[in-house]
Amino acid sequence: MDKETRNDLPGIQWFPGHMKKAQRLIEENLKLVDVVIELLDARIPASSANPMLAEIIKGKPRLIALNKSDLADAASTKRWLAYFRAQGIPAVAIDSVKGRGMKQLVAKAEELARPKTDRFVKAGGRPRAARCMILGIPNVGKSSLINRLAGAVKAKAADKPGVTRAKQWIKIGAALDLLDTPGILWPKFEDQTVGLKLAFTGAINDEIYDREQVTALLLSVMRRDYPERLQERFKFKGEMPEDGLALLEAIGRKRGCLVKGGVVDLEKAQNIVLTEFRSGKLGLVTLDEVPQAPATEPAGEERGDEA
């Protein structure tokens, strides 16, 4: 994001009381699990990673799952997988809605948990399923993932943050038990671009920030990085407005978001842009760049597309 855009970022902070409770819940129950599955949004792998979690789960085997990979740029997702693996963190790309990568995810979780489950049996205990905790920020797709793995609606899913509020154990066949937990955000975004990307993707409740400003900034980013997507989706002929707010107004006119006097209904236009971006109708987009040159992709570690 360029300096001109960065200087105009809205202040976005969100850490309601139930998230503090969620943090305590995670800390209290961490001893019950063998491995932690951290669910990230493949469109923003860095921005959707809660830095508090790394400290909280320190010492536990950790598996990263890049969810919503169907909405992210495939080449970028491959680079992110290579990056995490180069850090010694197993990672898989998944689509919890369509079920892609599920077998790969379960197999890797079982593999990471095996040292502990084997020790348990050697110490005289009865063989048991691997126990996993699924962690992630709100609206990253935890409930959809659990529902897909369980094959039934076990966790309430909704396309908005803050749905899961209490822990629940969910059995996945005979080999895996999942402990679901509420999503948590961190108390302060040190980099306001992080808060902005979370707002773009819907991880933050739309009611707590200036939606007009955020939508205008999203359009500025899209115009800079993916101009052809905007031209194709909104049928622009020739040059598009450079200013994000002017671009929002132009889109509103093209979509007929007009009120009395021919004035554009900006709220309706905002809804169109945010909804279409979040659903992938503006194309496959990755907003976070890999922070360093990716390592060579190990053989056999391609994205799993099995159901």
Residue 284 inside a domain? The answer is: no
Residue 212 shares a structural domain with residue 83: no
Amino acid, single-letter form, for residue 113: A
Amino acid, single-letter form, for residue 10: P
Residue 288 inside a domain? The answer is: no
7 annotated to a ligand binding site: no
Tokens (6 digits) for 264: 């554009």
**Domain total of the chain:** 2
Domain holding 176, by residue range, is 3-180
Contact 13, 189 (CB under 8 A): yes
67 annotated to a ligand binding site: yes
283 annotated to a ligand binding site: no
* Span 41-94, pLDDT tens digits: 999 999 999 887 777 888 899 999 999 999 999 999 999 999 999 999 999 999
Residue 236 shares a structural domain with residue 116: no
143 annotated to a ligand binding site: yes
* Span 109-125, pLDDT tens digits: 999 999 988 888 898 88
Q: Is 137 exposed, middle or buried (0-12, 13-18, 19+ CB in 10 A)?
A: buried
Residue 199 shares a structural domain with residue 147: no
Residue 88 shares a structural domain with residue 121: yes
Residue 219 inside a domain? The answer is: yes
**pLDDT reading at 245 higher than 80:** yes
**pLDDT reading at 161 higher than 60:** no
Contact 23, 52 (CB under 8 A): yes
Residue 266 inside a domain? The answer is: yes
User: Tokens 């360029």 sit at which residue?
Assistant: 2
144 annotated to a ligand binding site: yes
* Confidence bin at 247 (pLDDT 50/70/90): very high
Residue 307 inside a domain? The answer is: no
Residue 201 inside a domain? The answer is: yes
Q: What is the pTM of this model?
A: 0.82
pLDDT of residue 300: 47
Residue 23 inside a domain? The answer is: yes
140 annotated to a ligand binding site: yes
Task: Select from 148, 180, 212 the last residue of a domain.
Answer: 180
Compute the average pLDDT of residues 2-22: 53
Residue 215 inside a domain? The answer is: yes
Query: What percent of the chain lies above the pLDDT cut of 70?
Result: 79
69 annotated to a ligand binding site: yes
Q: Output phi, psi for 272, to 5 deg.
A: -65, -50
68 annotated to a ligand binding site: yes
238 annotated to a ligand binding site: no
**pLDDT reading at 299 higher than 60:** no
Tokens (6 digits) for 2: 């360029």
